[in-house]
A and B are shown apart, each in its own frame.
Chain A
Amino acid sequence: MANTKRKPIFYWLLFTGTVIIVFLLGMLASSITNRRAEKEYVYKPMVELKQGEPRNSEWGKNFPREYQSYIQTMDTSFRSKHNGNAVIDMLEVDPRMVVLWAGYAFSKEYTQGRGHYYAVDDIVNSLRTGAPSAGNPSPQPNTCWSCKSPDVTRLLGKMTPAEFYNGSWDTKGPEIVNPIGCADCHDTKTMNLVITRPALIEAFERQGKDITKATHQEMRSLVCAQCHVEYYFDKKKIEGTAYLTFPWDKGFSAENIEEYYDSYGFTDWTHSLSKAPMLKAQHPEYETYMMGIHGQRGVACADCHMPYKSEGGQKFTDHHIQSPLNNIANSCQVCHREEAATLLANVYERQDKIIENRNKLEELLVRAHVEAKKAWDLGATEAEMKAVLSDIRKSQWRWDFAAASHGASFHAPLEIGRVIANGITYAQEARIKLARVLAGKGFNQEVAYPDITTKAKAQQYIGLDMVKLNADKEVFKKTTLVDWMNKAKERESKY
């Protein structure tokens, strides 16, 4: 027979081949078994979380999928056309902002924020918080920590909001080290979404609404609204304390909020060139989102910024909070059937058209500030300037409302287009009045547009000593900050 003539090597190969195939089949069987099982086990607690546990990694032991996706907010590699998650020095991109914020801390530094993972790093490294050292407090209050860390939730469990806000920013430095995370939005025991920040609860109360009655779908936006909103520091409520307050009592629109501020005679700062009593818009993202079509149709922030996700049979929410433009398939295409490229083009079209007029308004505002300064230099009186300064205040508030709302050119393009248009009107009103004032002083020509082609030139123009500011910050990072981190490490070692 033929087989008797075969060499032993043939049988060895046949044997090995069969072994390999059976081994691979075993692997496949094992994979199928695993994947049948993976939907059975949703929650396997590994540690018991203490009430207000601020360390995200501890929560991560019980919720590995959520934690792993949260950790991805570390990523800084995505740049969309106008934003993204990389650090962008906005003052370098747009030096006009330096002039618009002359006399205010934002003219020192303003960067496009990174992901939640960097919340504490970014506030600590910002020039706006100053370079505190012993006997030399930060220019900012503790209120600035409010949105940076689940350590705030921990501290609010031990003290009243006013006690938390009280004092300069550096006094709670050693207490706040964990970046925005689990305990900011979740209850430790039930994992339900929960509002941990008093300012939002108080704003609801003042409007006669009970936030505990919010539906789950509303909560999927309201937890974001704890921070992504317009706010101000009420220094009159409790003397000497910068009490975090949302100016929503009269409504959400730029005009409603302005009316609220005007009724209190509230001013964030006095502009160092024009002497106008200015308002600084923070980031009215929730407010503007509510004025757009997605908000009006009940789409929650989380629907696009944290879409549902499945891994095997496990459903969970993607905690990689980011621009949906980096995740079009799972955000936009859940409802929209168009190609990703088409949807991206639709977003960019809105952004491009809004920024076209926003840039124009910026230029007009720079001119208005510079012309107002010229008027003061030529001896204009307070009475002559009053109406002008009011227009500048109104105009720049509208510009800032649009610019600081970040996503609003997409969230609510119609509303933002309207707000910017009104801003342009007020800026030109101010400049018409200024032209009359200047002409009255015998100056009847164009006031030269300053050379602010770079951030450095603009900062020099408004008289900022950047060398000193940067040097002081470096010293702070090497001394005070190291001290804070050591104290925090020691405190957390006792948890």
Chain B
Amino acid sequence: MKCLALLAFLLAAACGTDDPRKPTVEVIATEILAPTCGQVQCHSTTTMTSGLAFDTLEAAKRTLPEMTAMDGKKSLYRVIHVTGGNRMPPDSPLDPADIDLIDSWLGSGAPGL
């Protein structure tokens, strides 16, 4: 599984995108995770569903270090890639461009945490 995930990262990086955004924790947290996962009724500092918060950069930097593993219950990679009922966000999936950017950031070792 870990090998497949790493291969996916490398393939995504090799293919390239039209995305000018930089795969940094600041971009990932404030531009992608905050408006989707960090909605106030979900993983916000107000609600803290499952003990996770992404609504501010500060909260995301506290939450993300335990989610950078390639696999496992709290793996960010797993929850945004899994198909079926365990996918997050549950109702409104992340755009593939956002997923690619997160993959690129995770694949480079999640710098900035």
Asked if chains A and B come from one complex, the reply is: no
A residues with CB within 8 A of B: none
B residues with CB within 8 A of A: none
